[in-house]
Amino acid sequence: MNEQEILKEKLASLRSEHRDLDDVIARLAERAPYDQLQMQRLKKRKLMLKDQIMVLESRLLPDIIA
């Protein structure tokens, strides 16, 4: 397995976790009294995942010099 394939698998895993967190956050927000601290932690984790996804995507895309 080469580096590209490893990065693609990691990227797919991160995207899946990001979607799952999105669902969890939406369900938590639907409940009237929810734990604000838990919501903040989930959103922070989701943001960290988004940053990791962007880093991996930039590593997978070739640099194009215009």
Residue 16 exposure: Cα atoms within 13 Å on the Cβ side: 6
Is 66 a residue whose pLDDT tops 60? no
At 42, list the tokens: 């989930």
49 C-beta neighbours (distance < 10 Å), count: 20
Q: Is the pTM of this model over 0.75?
A: yes
Mean pLDDT of 15-21: 98
Q: How far apart are CA 54 and CA 58, in angstroms?
A: 6
Q: What is the mean pLDDT of the chain?
A: 92
On whether residue 29 sits in a domain, the answer given is yes
Per-state percent for the chain, helix, strand, coil, to nearest 5: 80, 0, 20
Q: Is residue 66 part of a domain?
A: no
Into how many domains does the chain fold?
A: 1
Q: What is the pLDDT of residue 17?
A: 98
Range of the domain at 26: 3-61
DSSP 8-state code for residue 62: P
How much is the pLDDT for 65?
67
